[in-house]
Structure 1
């Protein structure tokens, strides 16, 4: 079972994440490449961070399922936004998704940065992940 926790010492997390996450030795690490808010047909899910973030998390969930895993196997997420104006929308979508994925608040480790731009015009969010999937 993946262990996530917030030990005493550092201040409490500022958002929906745990300071530490660990995977047991009998798990295989699965690296998830940066996912963007693009539908299966290659079109943007929408022009804003909220619609793109919802699609990003749907893509991550789909990738996890293809590997026999689910959001409960996520150990770490890394979010990149193409401007601070996208924080509210991305956080709103993340809040909705995480309420479903982690109803007990057992969040994976997570980092977020704001970058000058992403790989293509119109993209406002990209999220990478690491999951730990039981072997066998």
Structure 2
């Protein structure tokens, strides 16, 4: 079982994440490339961070399923925003999804950075992830 925790020897996390995540030996690490806010048809979900974040999290959920995993197997999430003006929308969509995925607040590790731009001007958010999938016999 993946173990997530926050030692009392450091300050509590400032958001929905765990400081430490331990992956047991009977799991295989899978890397998820940066996901953007497009639907299965490739169309951008909208111009704002909230709609793009919702779409990319739906993509992430589909990728987890394709890998034989679920949100409980997320080890690390790395998010990139193309400006601080997108923080509120991004956080709203993440909070909504993470509340559903982690009702007991057993969050994966997370990092968030604000960058000057992403690969295309219309993209305002991109998320990469690391998954620990249980090995099958």
1:41-120 correspondence to structure 2 within 5 Å: 41-120=41-120
Q: Which portions of structure 1, spanning 4 or more consecutive aligned residues, are displaced by more than 6 angstroms?
A: none
- TM-score (norm: length of structure 1): 0.99
RMSD: 0.5
Corresponding position of 1:126: 126
Deviations 1:25-52 (A, max 9, x none): 0000010000000111111101100000
- Give the SS at the match of 2:93: helix
Deviations 1:85-122 (A, max 9, x none): 00000000001000110000000000000000000121
- TM-score (norm: length of structure 2): 0.98
Deviations 1:42-98 (A, max 9, x none): 111011000000011100000010111111100000000000000000000001000
Q: How many positions carry a matched residue from both structures? A: 136
Structure 1 unmatched runs, 5+: none
Distance 2:11 2:111 in 1: 15
- Give the SS at the match of 1:51: helix
